[in-house]
Structure 1
């Protein structure tokens, strides 16, 4: 039997659920986004190990693989937040593979909240780690809590393309530019604010003062 692939001390899930998820997302996403998901899994798993958190590695893997699938061409006419599209896709996938509904719901929430700051870290380890892994790979959150060897091994296995920072912002923007109203209340508003000169943020105070209530 082949040995499990390990990167930076983290075993890559290789059971039927993990393999099926990887095959589905590899076919749906660009290599840039697929590698981002795999790096995010590794950073999330390392965070969990460092903080002695109990989590299911297979569910973390599925959550990371699906977290950005709502940005792909399949959803270019969706009016949902891209996070909800990804959460729904993960839910449908896991149901097809007989995953328990409680686990499905946890992965759904993890994906749905991964761009909402200051909430996931107070929820279950799985929800917290999906957010933590994504934030580390995208914006270097808690960068110095990982060793240089860990970072180097992960990037060697799943490279960050040249110009990754600008390319991932572009990927976010292209996946959301047809549904700008869905960026309200998350970091996604920053993406379209930088990307689209015609974008105008929704303002919470403006919504309150301009609503139909007479006072």
Structure 2
């Protein structure tokens, strides 16, 4: 298994408070949608799937060695090598709770979080997940803030992390509304940076289109 966190794992970390409380119920449609979208983008970034504006293609069935991603890939493959975006989204959304559980267990295995007295305690040990500020408790949060507060060009994975965090209202869990409003132009600019992710973000929007409850208008 890889030492690098997947996008899905980072999204889950963003929904845990510094005190170790879950800020989002894993069973809600919004959380499941964020997890499903993250897993699909993870698979795309690892070249297991590809897509155009209408269809998703399973192009490589080789294991990713991450159980949540392999579960999502297997579910897609069971429905064929070519799926419409809507059917692909529906397929992964249906197993999103399982994907969340598998990804969360992976975070525990990594030693990043641990259950204790029914809360989660941060035990981030590796500087690999921290940015310049060694005092930062949450590397995923710090990564987002570093990108938004600078003019640096982020990686495709960082673009996807910020786009998903905005689309599913996760930024509000650790940023004040006024700060999000102040940085809105930068957020939108970052989400548009990587052309290769535009189709993936269309997939994320396809998830939202299937939901009756959407927290916030997506980035266009």
Q: Structure 1 length normalisation: TM-score?
A: 0.32
Structure with the higher helix share, 1 or 2: 1
**Bigger strand share:** 2
